[in-house]
Structure formats: C-alpha cells, structure tokens
Amino acid sequence: MKNEEILEKVIQRLDGITRILVQAAFGNRSITEQIRILSRCGFGPKEIADMVGTTNNTVNVTLSKLRKPKKPPLPRARPTEGFLQLGQV
C-alpha cells in the first residue's frame, strides 16, 4: 500500500470521527447554531457542510444571514379607537 493510499484512508477515518464528535456535541442544536459554533472555531464552509451533513451553499447562506445585523422588532399594533369591534354593526 502506498503512502498516499494510507494517508487517504487516515483522512477518511478522521472525517468520520469528526462527524461523530460533532453530532455528539451538537445533536440537539439547530443547524444554524451548529454552523455558527463551527465557524467561530475556525472551520470553513466546506468543512462545516461535511461535518453537519448539509450543502456548502446552505452553510454559506446561513453564515451570510448570521453576519447581517438584526433589525429591532416592530412595535405591536394597537387597536385603533373608532373602528367597529367584532360583533358590532
């Protein structure tokens, strides 16, 4: 067996172990939360996609949404006086 073949098998095993560890650590968290944590740990989108079992595009879109600033919630609508209430005619 050549060194390249051995190295490829070792890499495949490590990838499998990494997936198992990610699922054990983040199994009950949402995909978005898993992506956020793994990104903060320094993993790239392709690596994250492989670890959480999703596509590279999903990871990129999720990271883009996470980078966008959150908008403040809209104020609650208040019933306006003078309009007919249900049951009134």
Cα(43)–Cα(18) distance, integer angstroms:
12
Domain spans, the chain: 3-67
User: Phi/psi of residue 78, each to 5°?
Assistant: -110, 140
Cα distances from 44 to residues 14, 34, 52, 63, 83, in angstroms, run: 17, 13, 12, 10, 55
- Label residue 79 by pLDDT band (50, 70, 90): low
Model pTM score: 0.62
Structure confidence by residue, pLDDT tens digits, 1-36: 789 999 999 988 988 888 788 878 877 889 999 999
